Amino acid sequence: MLRWVRQQLGFDPPHQSDTRTIYIANRFPQHGHYVPQKFADNRIISSKYTVWNFVPKNLFEQFRRVANFYFLIIFLVQLMIDTPTSPITSGLPLFFVITVTAIKQGYEDWLRHKADNEVNGAPVYVVRSGGLVKTRSKNIRVGDIVRVAKDETFPVDLVLLSSDRVDGSCHVTTASLDGETNLKTHVAVPETAVLQSVANLDKLVAVIECQQPEADLYRFVGRITVSQQTEEIVRPLGPESLLLRGARLKNTKEIFGVAVYTGMETKMALNYKSKSQKRSAVEKSMNSFLIIYLIILLFEAILSTILKYAWQAEEKWDEPWYNEKTEHERNSSKILRFISDFLAFLVLYNFIIPISLYVTVEMQKFLGSFFIGWDLDLYHEETNQRAQVNTSDLNEELGQVEYVFTDKTGTLTENEMQFRECSINGIKYQEVNGKLTPEGFTEDSPDGNRHSLMKEEELFLKAVCLCHTVQINADQTDGADGPWHANGIASPLEYYASSPDEKALVEAASRVGVVFTGTSGDSMEVKSLGKSERYKLLHVLEFDPNRRRMSVIVESPSGEKLLFTKGAESSILPRSKSGEIDKTRIHVDEFALKGLRTLCVAYRRFTPEEYQEIGKRLHEARTALQQREERLADVFNFIERDLELLGATGVEDKLQEKVQETIEALRLAGIKVWVLTGDKHETAVSVSLSCGHFHRTMNILELVQHKSDSTCAEQLRQLAKRIKEDHVIQHGLVVDGTSLSLALREHEKLFMEVCKNCSAVLCCRMAPLQKAKVVRLLKTSPEKPITLAIGDGANDVSMIQEAHVGIGIMGKEGRQAVRNSDYAIARFKFLSKLLFVHGHLYYIRIATLVQYFFYKNVCFITPQFLYQFFCLFSQQTLYDSVYLTLYNICFTSLPVLIYSLFEQHVHPHVLQSKPVLYRDISKNAHLGFKPFLYWTILGFFHAFVFFYGSYLLMGEDTSLLGNGQMFGNWTFGTLVFTVMVITVTMKMALETHFWTWINHFVTWGSIVFYFIFSLFYGGIIWPFLHTQDMYFVFVQLLSSGSAWFAIILIVVACLFLDVVKKVLYRHLQPTSTEKVQMYSNRVALSDEFIALQPLSRARNQLSKISLLRQVQVSTAWTPCAASQMGKQHAHLLEECWND
């Protein structure tokens, strides 16, 4: 029972050993001492809470917030001691905030539960008792044999046992897991591949040993032991044997597989992205302000307590005749009385801490994030993809970015590869009209129109056609019977590949006459100039980022064992012992200078003895359960040596649209752009120049090919010296992966100094973890700049997660980057709109929201403090407890929330077209110490005007009420409160630049609501209230003409100085943003403006005004003016301005 309770509360994680043993069909050994391992069931749980733990877990999470915990303490103090205000004044707002947050989180979790139940209840078929049994997905156990039919998704992680094909292969698409739409081939081991019926599978006796679950989609280490009569056959299991939950079966009638990972232990579940724990600069500022206001609160409470006892030092004030102390009060401890009074004052002033700030900020972020998804300018029509928000906590951080770290391939480029050139045996070739033509030859040249391929050319193209992971669309007719030309111009085959480079190369080879026509079992078929050849695929040495190459071992039709290898020149050339190595190296550098992506191709022949040794080593490494990757890496290095170089390829990756304009806009906005890529040095520099990251006039500094600390340090010192000497010129820095490792090891400070003085930095030959290290280096530097990382592939995930803001590109390299990002966009060009418009507006909105909240609470509680000087510090409250409770919840909450959702202080089109405006908000400018001081002093000033204005105008006059009654303390307090509600609401109206009907409704509606509420609250005797202090107070107050005069005079006095300050600053020291606002106002097309125009132009302007008014109505609901109408509005303004 205790264990069940602990599991329900989420405190009892299952115990795990290093490996798991799975008995297929759950045929456990019969000997008595065997203890079965416990595995998770197949239920998917994406929800956060259960019925049992929702209340305690949710409350625990909410009270971890400083403000919520503070108000809980205040509420408990009010319950325990005699305080001037009712516990309801703190308890009700706290209850409201906690309840609203709990309802929101509970509803979201209920939706997750609902989705989980649909998935867990899906029908599946499993093999049990010699037949197929239909059951629910949640009932699948580890060890069950599951049948999956064509186009169905896999309900668990399965090891493939057999398919409807003789060779036991099947095709799978993992688009829902990693976004890759190509078909992946998975194969069963030969011993189980022949078991294609339920009856045969039911007789299978086999055991699988594999690693415990891990999140890596592409890693699986295991082995299967099949018992056949008297012998046991052991076969290795790798990623090619594992079918992942969420993937879909394609082009295969049905498969059978054994469940190895179930439920929350499947790789799909382990890859669920938890909510980002990143905190924005605004949130950090907010917490700092809270601490400052907490200090102000403590100071006011301590001062009031001290002054109370100083006042009571006089006998007549210590115990006045109308308030004699009891015997118990006279004999009570002075220390306890002091503490009690201090806590009472703390309760009285506690509203200076705005409890509703957090819930308002949460609502603003949550609702505001929808506008990014709704923005049509961030919608990519070709791919039907819109912007995606994975976390709404960082919206305002988009307006604070100082450094952008971007990947190159697929982010700045299209990741659409086109074959351009190649080098074969030291000769450069280009593709001309479907033929390989040596450089310098044309079709008119003697050798320019040949129909045959030389031996070296053919071997090179065969290597390209055999060393890859390309698949052919199985729905097509067989390429061998399709239309065919001898020179390969018309190929009917459609290729799919996870790597665009491989697809481009195989397609190029097919165009020039060597065609890969598909795989059949363990054979690969190649057609060379119409002649078909079948190669037996013996081993695949998979690509990995550390080796930077992939290889295949094949048996040629003549029986020869061959190794074909392709990869980066840095991993192939050092391992080559023959071939035109020097010439090829020169050609590779030339290709790179043109911005082409380069690969080198090599091969090796094996003797029978060598191949036998290789086969033995590979089998040992692949069947190892411990350190399999390390062992395989050693074996791969042993195999891929003594290569004969065949040549190199050059493939072009086209730049994305408007990349150059976007990078230039980022530079104008004061944002430094760093490109982090795994590409070759020359390729990366060429692309940087073409995309505008580097300018032709820029002085390019290099820190490359350093092998020792001393040379790296010396080069860094020289670069720092050059930058100081040529400080006028812009510098760009190029650094490679090896030099970067040395620089970060011992010369981090010097390296950072050089980087910060460069306008652009390019890091090439970067490993994924190096990208993250560079981001962390900048992020943790003394200036602590806000960083943004943007990429499209799995190799970019680490830097995306490391940066303050991570953005995924919905590209062709899967969805790992998108899943792990904070925001996702379809193209790099959308980054400018995301930062300069959405980021700018979100930051302005939330910065004003935070400052305004603190301002209105200073206005609210300071008169309470001042009132104590007039009531002998007796802790008498100035406001009624209902007003205390509803001030933040009802009377002043909506105008600022609507402002924070819809405000546009500058038109979005202007923000995007003038990136320099982004500088006005950089470095958290609107939440710095000066703005904070201004809003705080303004709050105190307004509070003094409210209190002393009311006191001087009304406080001492006893006959201002219409019926001649005295002007009591509740009337005085209500007058101060009325002035305050009107003033803080009008202050919000002064801050608003973009008025919609909703702004008008909530701004003026809040004031009207306050008056109506007060009339009802004070005009009726409420039976459930134990005191009726406010009965008829508000009605009597409004019956006095003097009171109306005082309200108007005090409100004007408060706001007049604020307006004067704004006007003076705008004209004497305007920021770039304020200049744009003033120009926009001049283009408001007033009558005077049109009157100055010639008649014909005035008519033209008037016709534009009518259109503008239509546009304004239609875009009132579009805060980011994402629609085309919003743009038209801005263009018309600009036209009128130019006129």
Eight-class DSSP state of 383: T
Residues forming a β-bridge with 645: 602
Instruction: Indicate the helix (H) or strand (E) that contains 115.
Output: helix 87-120
CB atoms within 10 A of CB 1093: 15
Q: What are phi and psi of 173, to 5 degrees?
A: -110, 130
Among candidates 830, 996, 985, 984, which has minimal Cα distance to 904? 996
Distance of CA 973 to the CA centre of its chain: 49
* Whole-angstrom distance, CA of residue 103 vs CA of residue 260: 38
* Whole-angstrom distance, CA of residue 259 vs CA of residue 154: 10
Its sign, for the CA torsion 544, 550, 554, 560, is: negative
Does residue 75 contact residue 868 with C-beta atoms inside 8 Å?
Answer: no
Q: Angle of helix 997-1019 relative to helix 969-991, nearest 10 degrees?
A: 170
* Helix, strand or coil, per DSSP, at residue 78: helix
* Whole-angstrom distance, CA of residue 675 vs CA of residue 790: 10
Exposure string of 330-342, with b = 16+ CB inside 10 Å and e = fewer, is eeeeeeeeeebbb
* Whole-angstrom distance, CA of residue 1083 vs CA of residue 1086: 8
Among candidates 663, 29, 604, 119, which has minimal Cα distance to 408? 663
* Whole-angstrom distance, CA of residue 147 vs CA of residue 135: 12
Detail the DSSP E strand segments found in 316-412: 388-389, 403-406
Q: Angle of helix 281-311 relative to helix 334-349, nearest 10 degrees?
A: 130
Choose the catalytic residue: 144, 178, 393, 407.
407
Eight-class DSSP state of 568: -
Instruction: Indicate the helix (H) or strand (E) that contains 416.
Output: strand 413-424
Does residue 985 contact residue 895 with C-beta atoms inside 8 Å?
Answer: yes
* Sheet of strand 222-228, all strands in order from the earlier edge strand to the far edge: 19-23, 206-211, 222-228, 231-237
Exposure string of 275-298, with b = 16+ CB inside 10 Å and e = fewer, is ebebebbbbebbeebbeebbebbe
Long-range CB pairs of 356-359 (<8 Å, 24+ gap) are: 356/93, 356/96, 356/97, 356/853, 356/888, 356/889, 356/893, 357/67, 357/286, 357/850, 357/853, 357/854, 358/65, 358/67, 358/68, 358/97, 359/97, 359/100, 359/101
Among candidates 682, 25, 677, 63, which has minimal Cα distance to 411? 677
* Whole-angstrom distance, CA of residue 351 vs CA of residue 1077: 36
Check if 478 is active-site: no
* Whole-angstrom distance, CA of residue 563 vs CA of residue 394: 50
Q: What are phi and psi of 58, to 5 degrees?
A: -65, -40
Instruction: Indicate the helix (H) or strand (E) that contains 906.
Output: none
Residue 716 is encoded by which pair of tokens? 């860094």
* Whole-angstrom distance, CA of residue 208 vs CA of residue 257: 12
Parallel, antiparallel or unpaired: strands 699-703 and 731-736: parallel
* Whole-angstrom distance, CA of residue 557 vs CA of residue 554: 10
* Whole-angstrom distance, CA of residue 49 vs CA of residue 242: 31
Q: Give catalytic residues, as residue numbers.
A: 407
